[in-house]
Amino acid sequence: MKNPLPFGRENSFGELMTPDLQFAFQIVAAHKRAVNGQWSYPEHRHTMFELNMVLEGEQAMRADNSDYLQREGDILFLPPGVAHASNGSPAMEPMTYFCLHFDIDDLNLRRSLMGMQTTLLSAPDGPAAADIRSALDNMLVSLAYAETGLLRDKLAFLSDTFRLLSALTNWAMEGKADMLQESDASENEVALAAAMERELRAGAARILPDGEKITIEKTAAKLGYSPAYCKRVFQRVYGMPPRQYLTGLILRQAKLLLIDTELSIEDIAYRLGYRDVSHFSKQFKRWMNLSPAAFRKLTQSR
């Protein structure tokens, strides 16, 4: 007896399916700031990407041991971990800038953006750079309304966020060979990092047996390598620790499950591999600054 085909596939002779997409694009501390001629900002570094656009005046920036002069409309792109400082206006005049920090856990896009290095985007730098500038301009318009709490204003800001993500993706796809740094990872290391990513993503998406948790150590053992080597390779290829990536996957899955009111918080904790619901609740609150119950109530009230 023939096995029945899934509904919709009977008598089909060709099919093309896109891969499932699920990723987080995070924007943090976006701000527009007007400063006087004596303003400067000391050297610092952070774990996120940064876009810094001058709106009025000029700004002297030092990043990655290089000096950059930003004129009106210029954008400085900074990957995570780059030491940078602003010396303010070289002419000691007032200046206005817009700064936006963002992160992306899609590892393909993240790796491409990491390869772009510190880059000054000026007016003649092509359509992708112009699209990034246009997206930031749109965000500046909606930024003034981001705190109103009105649904229409929130959706407008969200729409502008997607425009920025699209512009950044197109910029990464431009493939400027002179800007892409050579990776210090071998082909085998890239393949291992990709295998780790697949294993972690698959593990975070499935219902785990009672008490079983996804760990970097178990994933490394399954792939036949030491945890220390796997962590080092993953960081080198994708620019983030595998534990940080795994945490993001688990948090995203937890939020999706909490939206489903048919599941109790205890059920969700067990699905994610927590033996103790209180442990899950403490961990979730550490991530979100909200308890699972408060997060669920928030999602249902909007």
Task: Give the strand pairing for 59-63 and 84-86.
Answer: antiparallel
- Residue 8 three-state SS: coil
Report, as an integer, the average pLDDT of 292-302: 81
In this structure, which amino acid lies at residue 158?
A: L
Distance of CA 127 to the CA centre of its chain: 23
Report the range of poorest mean pLDDT among 89-93, 184-188, 223-227, 265-269: 184-188
Dist CA 252 CA 246 (whole Å): 10
pTM: 0.74
Following DSSP, what letter does each residue of 239-295 receive, concatenated?
SS-HHHHHHHHHHHHHHHHHH-TTS-HHHHHHHTT-S-HHHHHHHHHHHHSS-HHHH
pLDDT score for 24: 83
pLDDT at position 185 over 80: no
pLDDT digits (tens, 9 = 90+) for 54-99: 999 999 999 989 999 999 999 999 998 899 999 999 999 999 999 9
pLDDT score for 101: 95
Question: Mutual orientation of helices 151-173 and 107-114 as an angle, nearest 10°?
Answer: 60
pLDDT at position 219 over 60: yes
Phi-psi region of 267 (alpha: psi -120 to 50; beta: other; left: phi over 0): alpha
Following DSSP, what letter does each residue of 152-169 receive, concatenated?
HHHHHHHHHHHHHHHHHH
In 3D space, the residue among 118, 127, 125 whose CA is nearest the CA of residue 66 turns out to be: 118
**DSSP code of 20?**
P
pLDDT top residue among 107 and 33: 33
Q: How confident is the model at residue 211 (pLDDT cuts 50, 70, 90)?
A: low
**Domains of the chain (ranges plus CATH)?**
25-173 (2.60.120.280), 187-300 (1.10.10.60)
